[in-house]
């Protein structure tokens, strides 16, 4: 599939200056986050009536997804609102929370920072595409078993970040797990369980980070 | 104390706070005049100028309100299907705090069925009883018993039914695994048999007896066990639909015009550019302006097209720089004098002021609602902790009888006390009415950071006198603006005077996780460390010497022992601190170890050891989640979170500028849950947050020698 020429969509390329950065890089560079937000404001401010919808074909979870999209529609918007793949969540739309994390050719990206047209020709995996024939993946299973969800709004993002990590590095250390999740926020505070779940999914013995004891009051 | 029957659940021994009173409501009114009467300081969603007046209007003492009216009959609480399904109905919501699991356990326990057989239907005002708001840690002490009573009553109906069918006495019938069993005669009847009988309608219409006998704690089989989240599978596969995932046929996406600042009034706007766009619906009612279109992209474009034409009239607004002076000046009557001043001639006196900023709940899912009208009936799907309150707000805004409004709350992306109101639902409904089609409105993160309400800021004045033995002889404690929760001191002080003074909030403010207990406990516990230093005592000994509450002593001693406080306090340069507190019938103590770097200036919390006790534990897995979650959330409030504003503008309305805890900020945690099967279960979603900030502040004080007097904790200029 031919990728669209960037200059045709000149105005959009700003929004995608993040494209080379994975989710980790974006947020790990905390100082950069502000300029990211500022940049995005500017781009949003530039919105004028642009070209109308164009046909776009995305390869999502192994299937072609044919859509008519305005060129500036993000991958997240396309998935959530132009088809019914709502597994990736929107928590900020500004590269700051990771709720929208999906895989692009096995690399985790913020779907809110990618234009849908630019995602053409890549393999996109969303949380809906992980379980095969109703069988959860190891990461998903571990999230259930370790009770690593609370409200769960952040969960699909974490699951995708960790799926990517384990593909690349099947035996990560606790610090590597932390690093892989650096771009994902959880406000409910599931992080200790997410860490345990990730290590369990990898079959790595968990270094003790959380100790819990229920004691009977005598 | 009066002896109780052994199976009766003792009532919680504390008063529930009235949350509604403390939430600034947006008085949208889309009445016959078709004007959006907004009872606020200016346009859009603004601060309630007079919170008490609004609270009266919200009718909290009327039907519904904080506690709700509950289920009168068995049928209103439990739906028994002829096919064997058992559906339990509750007006509570699930936002990650674990109500779904705990209420399922409550029903399963009393119905004598495995928890996997319970289907829980939550928070659909068309179907479920009004169990009040999901707030104030009330699900555990109130709704769990309410569901248990309904389920126990249903079990008794099954026994009655079996006795009549078999012509036997009740004691020959037992209920197990969902069946009434007559063991001697080897026969059984199920709940489905009951439903299929012609007595069913009369039986299930019976009122739930208030004194129905409940299963004693020592016989619990389902309650007290670590039941996992019933819908975890749907969460990890992305199948669960959150409010912002809901779609309806023909649905449009909405956007609302927001004022540039608090207090701004819309003077004029040219709607023509949006109206000229095909497929775009534009609605205006005085200060309310919104658009809807078939795609969110187009809706945003339509909004951008008109936003630039808006003319606003602004008025000067307070800024966070002068926030605490402003709050002190606006108490109406000024701060009271310490009634104990000068009473103790020999005393050593300490007087301090503590500041706690406005912070945001920042739930990961911002407010979202889908509204759909059919004829004069309105259905709304939204994320709110107050389903029946939302129904009331919608009915008021559109001048409808409440029974024409149905509010459905899918399990949503967290609230933390920040989603008690219906403004997003009202806005979606207003757009849906204009469009004649369902409309989905999802607030952006910036809207959530700006126009949702905040945890109130506080200025707290504390003054104490130590007697010759180094004990607290007099205690004077004033909370300005944030609230009275946990304001009383749990220490056995000589004389005390504690008071809450409302002020004039410069931002829209409302509830929060543990609300003002976060501020009051912070101030009291850091003040205690300053007093301990004045008395020359170890902070642990200083507290224990003046602490009579055995439950609070137990958690404090437990946390200190597990943390090895007494050994570590002797180490030179130990960067450790502790704090404790009690609120809403539960007790918490935390010890924290911090690491301080000077360049760049940074405080890192390495380890937290927390002990928590909330009576009999209903679900240790969920309790652990709540405690860990509270520690992480408390960490944010302790070290980073602070809303900055200037002249009515929020200066940090994004996750890039308002910093919440990240994965590698999360410290090593030792959590010790003390089970007290002899005490009634108390809620646990809130209290575990209140000890963390002061424990961290006290650790910083110990490490640097500079006392901490404000949140978030900052290192003093070297
Ligand atoms: S929605 Fe994409 S990072 Fe937050
Ligand atoms: S579970 Fe609620 S944000 Fe992570």
Q: What is the pLDDT of residues A85-109, one digit of tens each?
A: 999 999 999 999 999 999 999 999 9
- Strand partners for A103: A108, A125
| Candidates A44, A85, A147; nearest CB to B621 | A147
CA B122/CA B92 separation, integer angstroms: 6
Q: How many CB atoms lie within 10 A of CB B298?
A: 22
Contacts of A105 (CB under 8 A, 6+ apart): A122, A123
Q: Helix-strand-coil percent breakdown of chain A, rounded to 5?
A: 40, 15, 40
Binned at pLDDT 50, 70 and 90, residue B63 comes out as very low
pLDDT at B604: 97
Reading phi first (left if > 0) and then psi (alpha if -120 to 50, else beta), residue B327 is in: alpha
Residue B13 pLDDT greater than 50, yes or no = no
Point out the ligand nearest to the CA of residue A183: 1
Nearest residue of chain B to residue A194 (CA atoms): B663
Paired sense of beta strands B645-646 and B649-650, if any: antiparallel
pLDDT at B65: 67
Percent of chain A past pLDDT 70, that is, above it, reads 74
Q: CA dist A171 to A93, A148, A162, A201, A206, Å?
A: 32, 19, 12, 9, 11
Q: Which atom of ligand 2 is nearest to the CA of A188?
A: 2
Residue B298: list chain A partners with CB under 8 A: 70
A153/B625 Cβ within 8 A: no
pLDDT at A24: 39
Nearest residue of chain A to residue B620 (CA atoms): A214
Binned at pLDDT 50, 70 and 90, residue B341 comes out as confident
Domain positions in chain A: 54-129, 138-215
CA B53/CA B572 separation, integer angstroms: 55
CA A192/CA A209 separation, integer angstroms: 7
A136/B237 Cβ within 8 A: yes
Omega within 30 of 0 (cis) for the link into B430: no
Point out the ligand nearest to the CA of residue B444: 1
The C-alpha of B358 sits at a distance from chain A's nearest C-alpha, in angstroms, of 17
Site to substitute for ligand 1 among A21, A26, A100, A158, most atoms within 8 A of C-beta: A100
pLDDT at B105: 98
- Residue in this structure with the two tokens 């610090």, named with its chain if needed: A175
Binned at pLDDT 50, 70 and 90, residue B698 comes out as very high
The C-alpha of A201 sits at a distance from chain B's nearest C-alpha, in angstroms, of 14
Task: Kindly report, residue by residue over B549-577, the tens digit of the pLDDT.
Answer: 999 999 999 999 999 999 999 998 899 99
pLDDT at B599: 83
Q: Helix-strand-coil percent breakdown of chain B, rounded to 5?
A: 30, 20, 45
Residue B668 phi, psi (nearest 5): -65, 135
CA B641/CA B631 separation, integer angstroms: 14
Interface probe for B, chosen from A45, A60, A88, A92 (most Cβ of B below 10 Å), is A92
Q: How many CB atoms lie within 10 A of CB B499?
A: 14
Q: Is A112 on the interface with B (CB under 8 A)?
A: no
Architecture per CATH, B244-313+372-451: 2-Layer Sandwich (3.30)
Residue pair B206/B74 in contact by the 8 Å Cβ criterion:
yes
CA A41/CA A34 separation, integer angstroms: 11
Task: Kindly report, residue by residue over B236-251, the tens digit of the pLDDT.
Answer: 999 999 999 999 999 9
pLDDT at B56: 32
- Long-range CB pairs of B78-81, under 8 A, 24+ apart, other chains included: B78/B107, B78/B111, B78/B150, B78/B151, B78/B154, B79/B121, B80/B154, B80/B191, B80/B192, B80/B194, B80/B195, B80/B200, B80/B204, B81/B192, B81/B195
Binned at pLDDT 50, 70 and 90, residue B183 comes out as confident
The alpha carbon torsion through B241, B684, B688, B607 (nearest 10 deg) reads: -70
A178/B664 Cβ within 8 A: yes
Give Rg (Cα) of chain B. Answer: 27
Residue intervals in chain B for CATH 3.30.365.10:
1-15+70-237, 244-313+372-451, 458-704
pLDDT at B716: 83
- Strand partners for B613: B587, B674
Q: Two tokens at B592? A: 């924290």
CATH topology of domain B458-704: Aldehyde Oxidoreductase; domain 4 (3.30.365)
Nearest residue of chain A to residue B563 (CA atoms): A211
Nearest residue of chain A to residue B445 (CA atoms): A92
* Average confidence score pLDDT of chain B: 91
- Residue with more model confidence, B217 or B58: B217
Task: Classify burial at B33, counting beta carbons within 10 Å of its beta carbon; exposed 0-12, middle 13-18, buried 19 or more.
Answer: exposed
CA B386/CA A177 separation, integer angstroms: 37
pLDDT at A191: 97
Q: What is the mean pLDDT of residues B6-26?
A: 49
Paired sense of beta strands A123-125 and A54-60, if any: parallel
Residue B58 pLDDT greater than 60, yes or no = no
CA B645/CA A192 separation, integer angstroms: 33
| Candidates A34, A70, A128; nearest CB to B237 | A128
Q: Is A172 on the interface with B (CB under 8 A)?
A: no
Residue A10 pLDDT greater than 60, yes or no = no
- Residues having CB closer than 6 A to ligand 1 are A 90-93, 95-100, 110, 112
Written out in words, the top-level CATH class of the domain with range A54-129 is alpha beta
Task: Kindly report, residue by residue over A185-203, the tens digit of the pLDDT.
Answer: 999 999 999 999 999 999 9
Paired sense of beta strands B472-480 and B495-501, if any: parallel
Q: Do domains A54-129 and A138-215 have the same CATH topology?
A: no
CA B368/CA A99 separation, integer angstroms: 16
Task: Kindly report, residue by residue over B132-162, the tens digit of the pLDDT.
Answer: 988 888 888 889 999 999 999 999 999 999 9
pLDDT at B503: 95
Using DSSP's 3-state secondary structure scheme, residue B110 falls into helix
- Residue with more model confidence, B297 or A52: B297
Residue B69 pLDDT greater than 80, yes or no = yes
Paired sense of beta strands A107-110 and A101-104, if any: antiparallel
Residue B517 pLDDT greater than 70, yes or no = yes
CA B272/CA B280 separation, integer angstroms: 11
pLDDT at B135: 84
pLDDT at B22: 66
Strands (E), B443-575: 458-466, 472-480, 495-501
Task: Classify burial at B34, counting beta carbons within 10 Å of its beta carbon; exposed 0-12, middle 13-18, buried 19 or more.
Answer: exposed
Residue A112: list chain B partners with CB under 8 A: none
Architecture per CATH, B1-15+70-237: 2-Layer Sandwich (3.30)
Q: What is the mean pLDDT of residues B314-321?
A: 95
Contacts of A124 (CB under 8 A, 6+ apart): A58, A59, A60, A61, A75, A79, A102, A103, A104
Residue pair B325/B504 in contact by the 8 Å Cβ criterion:
no
* Chain Cα centroid distance, residue B79: 28
Mind giving me the DSSP string for B546-599? TB--HHHHHHHHHHHHHHTHHHHTTSTT--EEEEEEEETTEEEEEEEEEEEETT
Reading phi first (left if > 0) and then psi (alpha if -120 to 50, else beta), residue B650 is in: beta
For B92, half-sphere exposure in the C-beta direction (CA atoms, 13 angstrom radius) is 30
Pick from B436, B679, B443: nearest CA to B551: B679
CATH superfamily of A138-215: [2Fe-2S]-binding domain (1.10.150.120)
Residue B332 pLDDT greater than 90, yes or no = no
Binned at pLDDT 50, 70 and 90, residue B62 comes out as very low
pLDDT at B100: 97
């Amino acid at each position: 599939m031919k990728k669209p020429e960037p200059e045709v969509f000149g105005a959009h390329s700003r929004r995608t200056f993040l494209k080379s950065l994975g989710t980790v890089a974006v947020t790990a560079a905390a100082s950069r986050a502000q300029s990211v937000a500022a940049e995005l404001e500017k781009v949003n401010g530039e919105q004028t009536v642009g070209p109308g919808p164009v046909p776009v074909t995305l390869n999502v979870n192994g299937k072609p997804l044919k859509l008519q999209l305005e060129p500036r529609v993000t991958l997240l918007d396309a998935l959530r609102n132009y088809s019914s793949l709502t597994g990736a969540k929107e928590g900020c739309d500004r590269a700051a929370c990771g709720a929208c994390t999906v895989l692009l050719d096995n690399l985790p990206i913020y779907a809110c920072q990618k234009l849908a047209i630019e995602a053409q020709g890549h393999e996109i995996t969303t949380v809906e595409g992980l379980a095969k024939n109703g069988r959860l993946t190891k990461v998903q299973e571990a999230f259930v078993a370790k009770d690593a969800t609370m409200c769960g709004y952040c969960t699909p993002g974490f699951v995708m970040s960790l799926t990517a990590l384990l593909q690349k590095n099947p035996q990560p250390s606790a610090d590597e797990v932390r690093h892989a999740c650096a771009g994902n926020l959880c406000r409910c505070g599931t992080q200790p369980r997410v860490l345990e779940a990730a290590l369990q999914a990898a079959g790595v013995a968990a270094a003790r980070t959380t100790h819990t004891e229920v004691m009977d009051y005598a | 104390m009066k002896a109780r029957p052994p199976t009766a659940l003792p009532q919680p021994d504390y008063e529930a706070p009235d949350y509604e009173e403390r939430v600034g409501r947006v008085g949208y009114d889309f009445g016959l005049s078709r004007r959006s009467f907004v009872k606020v300081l200016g346009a859009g969603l603004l601060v309630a100028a007079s919170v008490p007046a609004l609270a009266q209007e919200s009718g909290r003492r009327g039907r519904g309100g904080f506690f709700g009216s509950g289920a009168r009959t068995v049928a209103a609480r439990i739906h028994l299907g002829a096919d064997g399904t058992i559906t339990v109905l509750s007006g509570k919501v699930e936002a990650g705090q674990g109500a779904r699991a705990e209420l399922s356990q409550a029903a399963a326990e009393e119905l004598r069925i495995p928890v996997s057989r319970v289907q829980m239907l939550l928070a659909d005002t068309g179907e479920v009883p009004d169990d009040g708001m999901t707030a104030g840690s009330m699900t555990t002490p109130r709704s769990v018993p309410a569901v248990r009573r309904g389920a126990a009553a249903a079990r008794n109906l099954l026994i009655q039914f079996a006795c009549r069918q078999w012509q036997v006495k009740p004691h020959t019938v037992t209920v197990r695994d969902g069946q009434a069993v007559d063991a001697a005669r080897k026969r059984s009847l199920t709940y489905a048999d009951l439903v299929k009988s012609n007595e069913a309608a009369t039986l299930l219409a019976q009122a739930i007896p208030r004194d129905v006998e409940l299963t004693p704690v020592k016989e619990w089989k389902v309650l007290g066990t670590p039941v996992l989240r019933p819908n975890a599978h749907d969460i990890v596969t992305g199948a669960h639909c959150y409010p912002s995932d809901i779609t309806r046929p023909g649905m449009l996406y909405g956007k609302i015009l927001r004022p540039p600042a608090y207090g701004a009034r819309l003077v004029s706007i040219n709607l023509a550019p949006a109206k000229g766009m095909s497929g775009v619906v534009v609605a205006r009612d005085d200060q309310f302006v919104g658009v809807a279109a078939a795609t969110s992209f187009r809706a945003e474009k339509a909004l951008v097209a008109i936003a630039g034409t808006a003319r606003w009239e602004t008025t000067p607004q307070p800024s966070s720089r002068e926030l605490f002076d402003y709050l002190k000046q606006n108490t109406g009557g000024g701060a009271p004098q310490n009634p104990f001043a000068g009473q103790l001639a020999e005393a050593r006196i300490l007087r301090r002021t503590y500041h706690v900023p406005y912070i945001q709940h920042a739930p990961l899912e911002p407010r979202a609602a889908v509204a759909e009208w059919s004829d004069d009936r309105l259905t709304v799907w939204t994320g709110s902790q107050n389903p029946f309150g939302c129904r009331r707000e919608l009915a008021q805004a559109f001048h409808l009888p409440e029974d024409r409004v149905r509010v459905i709350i899918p399990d949503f992306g967290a609230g933390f006390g920040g989603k008690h109101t219906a403004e997003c639902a009202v806005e979606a409904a207003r757009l849906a009415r204009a469009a004649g089609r369902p409309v989905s409105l999802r607030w952006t993160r910036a809207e959530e950071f700006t126009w949702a309400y905040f945890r109130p800021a506080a200025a707290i004045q504390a003054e104490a006198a130590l007697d010759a033995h180094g004990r607290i002889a007099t205690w004077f404690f004033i909370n300005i603006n944030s609230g009275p929760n946990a304001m009383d001191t749990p220490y056995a002080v000589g004389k005390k005077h504690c008071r809450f003074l409302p002020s004039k909030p410069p931002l829209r403010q409302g509830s929060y996780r543990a609300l003002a207990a976060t501020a009051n406990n912070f101030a009291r516990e850091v003040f205690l460390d300053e007093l301990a230093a004045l008395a020359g005592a170890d902070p642990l000994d200083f507290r224990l010497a003046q602490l009579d509450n055995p439950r609070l002593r137990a958690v404090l001693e437990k946390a200190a022992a597990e943390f090895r406080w007494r050994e570590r306090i002797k180490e030179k340069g130990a960067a450790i601190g502790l704090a404790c507190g009690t609120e809403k019938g539960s007790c918490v103590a935390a010890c924290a170890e911090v690491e301080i770097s000077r360049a760049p200036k940074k405080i890192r919390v390495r380890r937290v050891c927390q002990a928590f006790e909330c009576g009999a534990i209903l679900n240790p897995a969920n309790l652990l989640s709540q405690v860990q979650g509270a520690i992480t959330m408390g960490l944010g409030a302790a070290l980073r979170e602070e809303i900055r504003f200037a002249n009515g503008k929020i200066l940090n309305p994004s996750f890039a500028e308002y910093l919440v805890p990240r994965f590698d900020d999360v410290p090593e945690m030792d959590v010790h849950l003390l089970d007290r099967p002899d005490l009634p279960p108390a809620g646990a979603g809130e209290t575990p947050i209140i000890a963390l900030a002061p424990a961290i502040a006290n650790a910083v004080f110990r490490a640097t020698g500079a006392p901490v007097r404000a949140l978030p904790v900052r290192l003093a200029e070297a």
